[in-house]
Amino acid sequence: MMLNTNFIAGTLFVSIIGMCATGVTWISSTLIGVDKNVAVMAVKIDDNSQKIDELHSMLKPMWEEFTGRTYDDNLAGFNAAAVKGQ
């Protein structure tokens, strides 16, 4: 008999090992791709943050001139009367 139990068991074992290796390879490549995307987004976020800081430093003097007030970026101090309940 050509299809004995040892042949069938060996074939199933090799198939399962092959599927596991394929799954591990797919997971690894997916995680590497996700890691690359996260790194790209981190660079974009840092770049945007820098641009926002530059815009803030550029607009702050114009806003202070327009409103006639000077702000030290301390909003808690700005609303001190509200905090004290007055």
**pLDDT tens digits for 21-71?**
999 999 999 999 999 999 999 989 988 999 999 999 999 888 888 887 776
**pLDDT tens digits for 14-33?**
999 999 999 999 999 999 99
Q: What is the DSSP string of 19-80?
A: HHHHHHHHHHHHHHHHHHHHHHHHHHHHHHHHHHHHHHHHHHHHHHHHHS----S-HHHHTH
Question: Rounded CA gap, 66 and 56, in Å?
Answer: 15
Asked whether 70 and 64 are in contact (CB, 8 A), the reply is: yes
For residue 3 the two structure tokens come to 């299809």
